[in-house]
């Protein structure tokens, strides 16, 4: 049966090559990818909502609020058991895992990634994990797309494009905002927005959107509509909101990163589960709005009902006092990222897109509420508009995706009346955050290692290249104590290269290099054959490449700075080979052609 399946697939691929041009076939596959992403979004969303409805709607309301403490630990425990005994692979976190696959794995994602997040994310979030579902949905669609591309023998450039199509499809299905979804794929995955890529992205986005409408009808995750008009007199306050959003974005990123590093130092997954699980359980018990994604809180704020979002506070505080409401909301902003970080640290599976929207909406509402409560203006600013624009500000800062933030809010509100304040706030927040935090939460680890694909095509191509593939090892090495005569007979005569590495015979460490130009003045004087040794002739290399540490961007810079045509390579302190500029540039040109899909 497997042979028959392979034969059928081979026959189909041969038929496709004969009858369907590559460009049209990519269009068809992008529609399929959009549909699969839509199905993935439906399964993840429905699974999560079913669990939440079962737990929150019955057990918590009818029995005991102590379940707020118990459920997150149970959910994280189930997630741990599923990963250990069923998936049997370390958990991969949504969009960062997809970016890693594009940057370092040529767009290849493993099969378990197609269903891993599909199972674990609903359990994590449904049981109260304070993370989102957008990242796992994108990762599921990307993994489906990657494996489908491999099955259909697509090249790396097409595979990367289809992963972007999956990301666009997932976002379009979740928010029913197809334009923002396309921009998200371009901004976050650094795709080139050309006619070659635009049409597949459009097809995938529309395909996924129609799938969402088929299963969810007209239900919208964020059912907003702009009630108040934008007035030019409020621009200074939107500028203030952008500044605040920038610093809250920095707080979000720094807090998240520190928690990640803290949990990385804890070797045992069980210890991480206990520490993180207890931490998130305590937070959710005392601050119930931190339970799950938190979109109900966002909707209540936009509708002007903050008291409804805070009515379950454990301290039964007076919500008729506006400053008490503001204080509680500020607490939500401060603790949401802590709750999300604890969920991830404990081994939960989710994303940070929803926590960003959650914090941004509350931040925007609080700014407007403070302005209105202090009576700075003779008129009131729109609290719902500031809530919406606040989400844009934090998305632009935390995710480093200002255009996605602008168009998402513009699309979900059904109009572009807030375009000016959206652009002002997003631009200011993004600029401030980018200055202090070079990479987004999604990309910080890859960015720190220099392995992140960016919109800079030269940098992107160099990132995709592998140093090992350009290392040459057909150089004859000599020991430091080798005489000139031995160098001539053992190395010069037998080598077709004009450079000789001087290597310590005991440690295999590189001590220097000898150029053929250094030998020419003395190599024909036989009276020096026994008097001059390699150590006398060698010189320090203009630069050394470290195989484990140097990225291709650094290698290229070393060639540029040194002006050398060959540079030695070391690995683990030992001589490994040489990289020549000519071979490096040849490999670069080939990768550029492959990357561009031409």
- Report pLDDT for 27: 93
d(CA 233, CA 42): 43
- On whether residue 515 sits in a domain, the answer given is yes
- On whether residue 225 sits in a domain, the answer given is no
For residues 131 and 173, state if they share a domain.
yes
For residues 93 and 209, state if they share a domain.
yes
- Report pLDDT for 222: 72
CB-based contacts of 195: which residues, under 8 Å, 6+ apart? none
* Domain that includes residue 423, residue range: 232-451
How confident is residue 596, by pLDDT bands cut at 50, 70 and 90? low
d(CA 199, CA 204): 9
Using the 3D structure, point to which of 403, 425, 451 is the last residue of a domain: 451
CB-based contacts of 222: which residues, under 8 Å, 6+ apart? 175, 295, 298, 299, 302, 357, 412
For residues 524 and 386, state if they share a domain.
no
How confident is residue 441, by pLDDT bands cut at 50, 70 and 90? confident
For residues 477 and 579, state if they share a domain.
yes
Judged by average pLDDT, the poorest of 68-82, 174-188, 286-300 is 286-300
- On whether residue 227 sits in a domain, the answer given is no
- On whether residue 191 sits in a domain, the answer given is yes
Instruction: Work out the end-to-end distance of the chain between its first and last CA atoms, rounded to an integer number of angstroms.
Output: 37
pLDDT over 80 (residue 455)? no
For residues 376 and 504, state if they share a domain.
no
Count of structural domains within the chain: 3
- On whether residue 222 sits in a domain, the answer given is no
DSSP of 284-305: HHH-GGGSSS-HHHHHHHHTT-
Q: Is 347 in contact with 261 (CB distance < 8 Å)?
A: no
Q: How far is CA 50 from CA 47, 215, 288, 566, in A?
A: 5, 15, 19, 62
* Helix axis angle, 353-374 to 295-302, nearest 10°: 30
For residues 438 and 514, state if they share a domain.
no
CB-based contacts of 552: which residues, under 8 Å, 6+ apart? 462, 463, 465, 466, 467
For residues 479 and 573, state if they share a domain.
yes
- pTM score > 0.85 for this model? no
pLDDT over 70 (residue 117)? yes
d(CA 289, CA 330): 12
For residues 195 and 65, state if they share a domain.
yes
CA-based nearest residue to 597, from 155, 104, 190: 155
For residues 197 and 244, state if they share a domain.
no
d(CA 579, CA 545): 8
- Report pLDDT for 57: 63
- Report pLDDT for 370: 92
For residues 446 and 477, state if they share a domain.
no
- Report pLDDT for 465: 65
For residues 434 and 507, state if they share a domain.
no
* More reliable by pLDDT, 465 or 477: 477
Judged by average pLDDT, the poorest of 249-263, 323-337, 381-395, 456-470 is 456-470
* More reliable by pLDDT, 187 or 392: 392
Cβ atoms within 10 Å of 207's Cβ, excluding its own: 25
Cβ-count burial of 376 within 10 angstroms (0-12 exposed, 13-18 middle, 19+ buried)?
A: exposed
How confident is residue 451, by pLDDT bands cut at 50, 70 and 90? very low
- On whether residue 221 sits in a domain, the answer given is no
For residues 337 and 382, state if they share a domain.
yes
Using the 3D structure, point to which of 149, 182, 216 is the last residue of a domain: 216
Residue with tokens 């029913």: 176
Q: Domain with 301 in it: what CATH number?
A: 1.10.3080.10
- Report pLDDT for 204: 94
Q: How far is CA 157 from CA 56, 102, 153, 444, 576, in A?
A: 45, 10, 12, 24, 31
* More reliable by pLDDT, 468 or 513: 513
DSSP state of 60: I
- On whether residue 226 sits in a domain, the answer given is no
Using the 3D structure, point to which of 433, 451, 469 is the last residue of a domain: 451
- On whether residue 118 sits in a domain, the answer given is yes
d(CA 373, CA 494): 86
């Amino acid at each position: 049966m497997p042979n028959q399946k392979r034969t059928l697939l081979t026959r189909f691929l041969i038929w496709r090559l004969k009858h369907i041009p590559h460009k049209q076939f990519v269009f068809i596959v992008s529609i399929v990818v959009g549909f699969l992403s839509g199905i993935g979004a439906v399964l993840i969303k429905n699974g999560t909502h079913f669990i939440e409805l079962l737990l929150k709607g019955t057990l918590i309301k009818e029995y005991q609020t102590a379940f707020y403490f118990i459920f997150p630990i149970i959910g994280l425990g189930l997630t741990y058991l599923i990963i250990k005994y069923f998936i049997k692979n370390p958990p991969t976190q949504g969009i960062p895992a997809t970016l890693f696959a594009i940057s370092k794995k040529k767009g290849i994602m493993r099969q378990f990634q197609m269903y891993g997040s599909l199972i674990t994310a609903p359990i994590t979030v449904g049981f109260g994990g304070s993370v989102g579902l957008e990242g796992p949905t994108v990762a599921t669609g990307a993994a489906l797309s990657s494996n489908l591309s491999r099955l259909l023998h697509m090249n790396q450039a097409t595979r990367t494009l289809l992963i972007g199509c999956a990301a666009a499809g997932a976002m379009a299905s979740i928010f029913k905002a197809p334009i923002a979804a396309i921009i998200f794929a371009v901004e976050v995955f650094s795709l080139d927005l050309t006619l070659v890529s635009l049409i597949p992205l459009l097809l995938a986005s529309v395909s996924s959107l129609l799938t969402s409408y088929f299963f969810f009808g007209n239900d919208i995750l964020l059912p907003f509509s702009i009630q108040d008009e934008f007035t030019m007199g409020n621009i200074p306050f939107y500028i203030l909101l952008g500044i605040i959003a920038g610093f809250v974005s920095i707080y979000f990123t720094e807090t998240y990163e520190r928690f990640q590093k803290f949990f990385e130092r804890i070797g045992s997954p069980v210890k991480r589960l206990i520490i993180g699980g207890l931490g998130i359980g305590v937070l959710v018990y005392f601050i119930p709005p931190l339970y799950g994604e938190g979109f109900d809180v966002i909707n209540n704020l936009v509708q002007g009902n903050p008291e409804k979002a805070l009515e379950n506070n454990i301290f039964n505080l007076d919500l008729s006092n506006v400053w008490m409401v503001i204080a509680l909301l500020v607490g939500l902003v401060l603790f949401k990222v802590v709750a999300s970080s604890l969920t991830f640290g404990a081994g939960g599976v989710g994303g940070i897109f929803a926590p960003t929207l959650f914090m941004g909406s509350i931040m925007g509402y609080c700014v407007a509420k403070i302005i209105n409560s202090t009576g700075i203006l003779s008129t009131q600013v729109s609290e719902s508009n500031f809530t919406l624009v606040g989400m844009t500000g934090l998305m632009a800062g935390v995710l480093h995706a200002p255009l996605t933030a602008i168009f998402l809010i513009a699309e979900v509100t059904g109009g572009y009346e807030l375009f000016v304040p959206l652009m002002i706030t997003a631009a200011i927040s993004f600029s401030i955050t980018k200055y202090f935090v070079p990479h987004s939460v999604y990309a910080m680890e890859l960015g720190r290692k220099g392995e992140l694909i960016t919109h800079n095509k030269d940098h992107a191509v160099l990132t995709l290249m592998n140093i090992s593939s350009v290392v040459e090892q057909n150089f004859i090495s000599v020991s430091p104590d080798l005489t000139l005569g031995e160098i001539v007979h053992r190395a010069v005569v037998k080598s077709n290269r004009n450079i000789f590495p001087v290597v310590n015979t005991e440690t295999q460490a590189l001590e220097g290099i000898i150029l053929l130009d250094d030998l020419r003045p003395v190599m024909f004087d036989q009276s020096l054959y026994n008097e001059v040794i390699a150590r006398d002739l060698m010189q320090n290399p203009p630069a050394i490449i470290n195989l484990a540490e140097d990225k291709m961007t650094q290698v290229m810079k070393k060639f540029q700075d040194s002006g050398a045509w060959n540079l030695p390579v070391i690995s683990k302190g030992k001589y490994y080979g040489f990289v020549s500029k000519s071979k490096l540039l040849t490999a670069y040109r080939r990768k550029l052609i492959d990357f561009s899909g031409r």
